[in-house]
Every structure is written in C-alpha cells, then in structure tokens.
Amino acid sequence: MDEIKSHSSYWLSPGIDVPTQDELLLLPSPRALRGFYVDRDAGEAAFVPTEDFMRESPLWRIDVLDDIANAIQRTRTHALVAYFRECQVRAPNVHMAEQIEAFRKICDLAGVVLPDELEALLVLDQQFRRSALKSAPRD
C-alpha cells in the first residue's frame, strides 16, 4: 500500500500531525463507523460499538480498533505538542529542560498521561521550528 505524504492544515512539524482525509484514499471502500460520542462542554467522550460492529469477527474488530487507536494516538500527540507550545509561550526564556519538567507537572496535575517518547518529540519539534525560522525568507 502506498503511503500518502500530505500534511493536514494542523501540521506542526515532522511527525506531529493528525490523520488527513487523503488517508481515506488508502481504504478500498471507506465508510463511517458509528458509536463515537463526545460531550463538548465536559470534554468527555465514549465509544459504544454498534451491533453491526460487534457482529464482525473478533480479528476484524481488533484490526479496526488498532487502526482507530493509531489515528487517535497521532491526534493526541499533536494535541500534546500544541499544548506544550502554548505553555512555552508563557516562559520563552526558560531552558527547554525546565519547560519540559514544568509541562510534566502541569500534565500530572491535570491527570494527563504523557508518553515516554514525548520529550524526544518536543525536542525535535523545537529543533525543527528553530531550523525553519532560520531558513525562512526575511522581508
């Protein structure tokens, strides 16, 4: 299967993006999956599988759920990096290691679990942004 390399309009840096509509082109017969519910005000969500979903074979359900979990994880990583950037604006002159430690504490207090590789992603994102700023044409 060919991988589509387009960026979403939410692209932040290499490896920090959300799934795109173009990825649907990889599916021979895409169709919407019902069962996702979101409370915008509370910021809570649930997935309640439909009877159609549960009638599929267990292996099929595992495959589909793994694909969904991967897309959700990519979107979650994007949100974590975007949130770190928001926090970073508050203390731009603080060393990166201190910013990451403060971010870990903020997330811990909020009950947000951070992936082990987040620090590496944040450092790479920071390096990419610096590099992009240096190479950007100046007016």
pLDDT tens, 73-129? 999 999 999 999 999 998 888 999 999 999 999 999 999 999 999 999 999 999 998
pLDDT confidence of residue 135? 76
Query: Is a pLDDT exceeding 70 seen at residue 31?
Result: yes
How much is the pLDDT for 24?
Answer: 77
CB 63 within 8 A of CB 44: no
DSSP tag of 111: T
Distance CA 92, CA 99 (A): 9
Q: Per-residue pLDDT for 136 more than 80?
A: no
Say what the pLDDT of residue 129 is.
Answer: 86
- CA 97 → CA 53, 74, 80, 88, distances in Å? 45, 24, 16, 11
pLDDT tier at 5 (50, 70, 90 boundaries)? Answer: low
